[in-house]
Structure 1
């Protein structure tokens, strides 16, 4: 009603006059004087009521208790105070429009100053006293429903406006958290002060208090400003620890701290987009740039292959949170933050490429100069495959980094080697991983040539190729390199294992007759079989007692294969001719069970070179039991 009256009071101006359809004369229609008097009367009543409410909370009043605050306990008084200020503002506009006496305007202005001083103190107190309920995590986790439900609506019931600062809310309707209630109160004060022309004072308090919280939070998270020179002087262990700290801090900062500050700022200063942007920029801009500058400095610092994975960790962290970063820092004044994120992102990608190029070059230059004594897995095989397995865990990041970095090799590779590639999206990274594995396999083949014993060279190939295959099978490399490659090289492992058995045990196997029965094998021939078998088995065991097969399943498979090829034929010979010789221990050195024990002891790399200690089946059996 007051709004309608206020509008009608302005109709006395010429621009709002109109003509009557019944009168030929154009006479201005003015608002009746009793309407203006009634409106002025209402405004004067508002002024008197505002004076009563505002002076009650005057900070300079001798009756005011400095421990009292409007927005604690029963919030009806706070709502009443804000309404009085709004009415006072409306009355002041009317006084000015009707050229009221300067005394009224001066008096209203003094009351407004008292009210603003009160609200300024309340705003400061609420921000400082409620740090725990205005923490970024609580604010950032607020649901859209809660944000829309918490408002300073004049029509809200008195029961919904009662809240204690301990965090207990009393409401017959929806219950809201203390943090949401505090935010609503802050918004109410900010709207009132900005609408009354005192936004500058409100904003100043907000910026100072919230910036101190952001600075303190990031300091506690370990975020510091570094120079490139400082990072270059750090040992890798020290720098790696700082990267781990940054990874944790960046996650908290984006998902909680900066997100919460943006939500809080947008909510409290929803009445002014310009103020929202100014507050958020001054509170977060500088610290955000410091946070996101660190990855760029790491990418520019000294590079080594050992730093690859931490670099990828930072790249992945920024990639995964880019959409959130872009949304949080969407203001034009935050362009520098978004630019810094993109710069760091690009520099990290460049760093990964450089380290990967160094890794490839190092692999190509590597030469296996000395054989592994046991025929086991070469250190280069372990290092390269573990490196590639860890790299494959970052396949999503590497897709981006290697997308426009095609594989270039000096010598062409077989087209069939890349036939497993199923999509253009993964072709670049898959081809690069496949090529690196191929380079390693070439190194392994060259290493096998270092052995003088052909059987041991095949055992070396078995161990190393099986290690490569198992790493591919049990990691993301399987998806990158493909099932065809895996099947092909699993077959090659079996082929190498067969070649090893043939070269290492063929003399032992052929020393036994294929069908050694008493009817078709003379005693002297049987004696020769035993002597030749003893000689060949002793020689094979002596050479292989320190050899190793690292993979337990592969080791058992080869042992089972040897058992099947040696023990049945030897057992038949042993059982048929065991009692035919005098001085039997000189001819029959091994009982079948003892022979099985010796074979079981192979491929663990724990034996010592030398002859088999087996002067008799009984002594060898007791040796096996003692072991």
Structure 2
């Protein structure tokens, strides 16, 4: 360990030789007081030795003498020990005061004052005995008066060593200096051990206290393969991590106040004695260990880049959620607590506190960033978009806090380009850049997913296609990151369309951290929005794909039901997500609503125009009379067509209740009145009884009831009703 080396006193001839000799004589008289007391103690020891000799010779010691000696020993041990130590300490202080006064007065010490060597030796012996008691474990060093006195004694020992150093050329003082230097080294080693023990024991006690940090965060929905999405999908909410405000700022400072005060006292003693390096290293190691143990208690463990690359997505997804929680907790809770602890323990030594804390924070953040960088380097796939955006947002949102923690100056010109803080800012910017590039590429890959979905098997019953559900749910969750994606797309906009980005992204522009926040909040209608344009392109591709898939149905009516189902699902999702609605705009929504109305008209024309043709008057009158054969044929045609419609369209699926109701009402509004009017005009021309029952199978009310059971996707229920 290093020892403090105080500067030698400066020489001066400001005092006369007579005054110098008088001062030395006075100091020697003062120091002799301690020697006299020490002589008394030696006489007491001699008496004790005589008593031992008498015991060896077999001479008897009566009971009164034994009791008297016992009481005397008790008195000596409990009453005289402390005063003797105090008296010796006072003598040493007096000796130090003389040396300091001579040095301060720039006095030439040709004949230094008499050295109270016996007092110094006794002082050191008592101090080492006290240290040995604690080192042996016989007694625990507790925060009471003894600890304060011991620290005070260590400081006195340091001052004594420093004062003797300039006099080491004198043989008489050289031995004392070596003795005090060795004792000081031992004392500082003891303090170093105590310092680490206090730090380590309290850290482990805190880590064993279970908290809520181990609870897992709810995972967001998976977007892996659209073909595997169920038709009736219960959508989960997006995973929202707890904000900094919701985190509990617990145990601030990290240790109890009494422990912090003890740490502060030890640090002050070690720094004062010149053992700054040892004190700093012990504190840094202990706090680094405690900090990473805290990360482990949050569930985060260090994972290598290769391991991240090989990890299955389900496992990596959980690790990312854990990382985000650990990163946010570290920046918003752990670092402020650590900052407070460092400032208190090293109060009066702000430079040391700043240096140690900066080192801890930088190391911790760099280690956490290694995981984020590894995630950005993984193979890209659609389901990874949201977790990458979560990491991106965490880095972006907490960067101001990181700046504040590390006291980064606003004027970057005053900072060294190679400073650790600037390196950290550059690293975070680079990782955000890679995450943003990956997010743009993944989102643009959605185009490819739509284009390559060319299945030739139509969805049964014209229901909503899995691709539609997949794309719209994906967009719904993506648009919850609307501001972030707009920022990313602006940062990475190119002269060509974003969908043509290369996987390596070599030409992507650098991250413009200083501008994106203003752009995010100050866009106007004339500003191009590359994310909105990309979203529009995705919607157009989906529309074209659905138009193509509708042609797989041979029945044109079912083709329109399919388009209505998917169109209504899309519109419902858009109306339920204000972000998508805002990005697509009212004009786009009006166009799609118009398409839906046209699909509806096309369906009615394809299905019910032929039915309504049965109710026309044309062709029924022949020479002014109703032709019964033609009338019977009309009823037969209607019955056959309606039976076929019931049989076929009861198996078709319209899952949206509002659309289902609209279709049924519109059909009933057209068909039922026409049928009721036709019956009223021509039913009397059929002979009552058997002939009427043969040709008139449906009443007007029955017709309405049957229509109300269309599009249930359950033809068996219709068949049971007909039997």
Root-mean-square deviation (CA, aligned residues, Å) is 4.7
Evaluate the alpha carbon distance shift between residue 511 and residue 267 of structure 1 in structure 2; reply closer, same or farther with a 3 A threshold: farther
The whole-number CA distance in structure 1 between the counterparts of 2:154 and 2:427 is 44
1:402, distance to aligned residue in structure 2 (A): 0.5
* Residues 306-344 of structure 1: CA deviation (Å, up to 9, x unaligned): 332332232223223223334445684455544433332
* Residues 550-590 of structure 1: CA deviation (Å, up to 9, x unaligned): 21211112112222223344456557877863213212212
1:53, distance to aligned residue in structure 2 (A): 11
For the Cα contact (< 8 Å) 2:309–2:374, is it kept in 1? no
Matched with 1:116 is 188
For the Cα contact (< 8 Å) 1:285–1:334, is it kept in 2? yes
SS in 2 for 1:465: helix
1:205, distance to aligned residue in structure 2 (A): 2.3
**2:273 paired with 1:196:** yes
* Residues 449-499 of structure 1: CA deviation (Å, up to 9, x unaligned): 444433222222211111211111112312322344334423432332233
Alignment of 1:319-338 (within 5 A): 319-328=396-405, 332-333=419-420, 336-338=423-425
Evaluate the alpha carbon distance shift between residue 273 and residue 31 of structure 1 in structure 2; reply closer, same or farther with a 3 A threshold: farther
* Residues 374-421 of structure 1: CA deviation (Å, up to 9, x unaligned): 22222322222222222212223212220133474599xxxxxxxxx9
Matched with 1:511 is 614
**2:579 paired with 1:485:** no
Matched with 2:39 is none
* Residues 173-218 of structure 1: CA deviation (Å, up to 9, x unaligned): xxxx962332232122212211221222222322333333334444
Evaluate the alpha carbon distance shift between residue 369 and residue 203 of structure 1 in structure 2; reply closer, same or farther with a 3 A threshold: same
Matched with 1:360 is 447
Alignment of 1:125-204 (within 5 A): 125-132=197-204, 179-204=256-281
Matched with 2:708 is 600
1:444 pairs, out of 538, 546, 555, with 546
1:286, distance to aligned residue in structure 2 (A): 5.1
Evaluate the alpha carbon distance shift between residue 534 and residue 35 of structure 1 in structure 2; reply closer, same or farther with a 3 A threshold: farther
1:585 pairs, out of 673, 681, 693, with 693
* Residues 425-459 of structure 1: CA deviation (Å, up to 9, x unaligned): 78222221122112211222333344443322222
Evaluate the alpha carbon distance shift between residue 374 and residue 521 of structure 1 in structure 2; reply closer, same or farther with a 3 A threshold: farther
1:243, distance to aligned residue in structure 2 (A): 3.3
Alignment of 1:16-415 (within 5 A): 45=90, 47=92, 55=126, 58-61=129-132, 66-72=137-143, 75-86=144-155, 102=173, 109=181, 112-113=184-185, 115-132=187-204, 179-219=256-296, 221-228=299-306, 230-257=307-334, 260-272=337-349, 275-276=352-353, 279-280=356-357, 288-328=365-405, 332-333=419-420, 336-367=423-454, 369-406=456-493, 408=496
SS in 1 for 2:655: coil
Matched with 1:6 is none
The whole-number CA distance in structure 2 between the counterparts of 1:31 and 1:359 is 95
Evaluate the alpha carbon distance shift between residue 425 and residue 129 of structure 1 in structure 2; reply closer, same or farther with a 3 A threshold: farther
1:107, distance to aligned residue in structure 2 (A): 6.7
The whole-number CA distance in structure 2 between the counterparts of 1:46 and 1:401 is 74
For the Cα contact (< 8 Å) 2:134–2:141, is it kept in 1? no
SS in 2 for 1:321: helix
The whole-number CA distance in structure 1 between the counterparts of 2:22 and 2:701 is 126
The whole-number CA distance in structure 1 between the counterparts of 2:25 and 2:658 is 101
1:89, distance to aligned residue in structure 2 (A): 5.0
**2:560 paired with 1:458:** yes
The whole-number CA distance in structure 2 between the counterparts of 1:241 and 1:522 is 78
Matched with 1:161 is none
Matched with 1:158 is none
1:434 pairs, out of 533, 536, 550, with 536
State how many pairs are aligned.
Answer: 545
For the Cα contact (< 8 Å) 1:126–1:186, is it kept in 2? yes
Matched with 2:721 is 624
1:58, distance to aligned residue in structure 2 (A): 4.5
Evaluate the alpha carbon distance shift between residue 459 and residue 409 of structure 1 in structure 2; reply closer, same or farther with a 3 A threshold: farther
The whole-number CA distance in structure 2 between the counterparts of 1:321 and 1:235 is 28
For the Cα contact (< 8 Å) 1:187–1:267, is it kept in 2? yes
Matched with 2:599 is 496
For the Cα contact (< 8 Å) 1:231–1:301, is it kept in 2? yes
Matched with 1:414 is none
For the Cα contact (< 8 Å) 2:124–2:183, is it kept in 1? no
For the Cα contact (< 8 Å) 1:266–1:276, is it kept in 2? yes
The whole-number CA distance in structure 2 between the counterparts of 1:204 and 1:288 is 20
The whole-number CA distance in structure 1 between the counterparts of 2:88 and 2:525 is 76
Q: TM (normalized to structure 2)? A: 0.63
- Between 1:535-544 and 1:362-371, the stretch displaced more is 362-371
Contiguous gaps of at least 5 residues in structure 1 = 1-9, 18-26, 148-176, 412-420, 515-519, 614-622
The whole-number CA distance in structure 2 between the counterparts of 1:219 and 1:313 is 21
For the Cα contact (< 8 Å) 2:131–2:187, is it kept in 1? no
The whole-number CA distance in structure 2 between the counterparts of 1:294 and 1:62 is 48
The whole-number CA distance in structure 1 between the counterparts of 2:436 and 2:350 is 36
For the Cα contact (< 8 Å) 1:11–1:31, is it kept in 2? no
- Between 1:475-484 and 1:239-248, the stretch displaced more is 239-248
* Residues 124-172 of structure 1: CA deviation (Å, up to 9, x unaligned): 221122115666999x97699x77xxxxxxxxxxxxxxxxxxxxxxxxx
For the Cα contact (< 8 Å) 1:59–1:114, is it kept in 2? no
SS in 1 for 2:303: coil
For the Cα contact (< 8 Å) 1:58–1:115, is it kept in 2? no
Flag the structure with more relative contact order, 1 or 2, with Cα contacts below 8 A and sequence separation at least 6: 2
Contiguous gaps of at least 5 residues in structure 2 = 1-8, 32-86, 95-119, 214-246, 409-418, 500-522, 618-623
Matched with 2:642 is 537
1:76, distance to aligned residue in structure 2 (A): 4.2
Evaluate the alpha carbon distance shift between residue 46 and residue 68 of structure 1 in structure 2; reply closer, same or farther with a 3 A threshold: farther
The whole-number CA distance in structure 2 between the counterparts of 1:43 and 1:94 is 17
Q: TM (normalized to structure 1)? A: 0.72
SS in 1 for 2:461: coil
Evaluate the alpha carbon distance shift between residue 321 and residue 133 of structure 1 in structure 2; reply closer, same or farther with a 3 A threshold: farther
SS in 1 for 2:491: coil
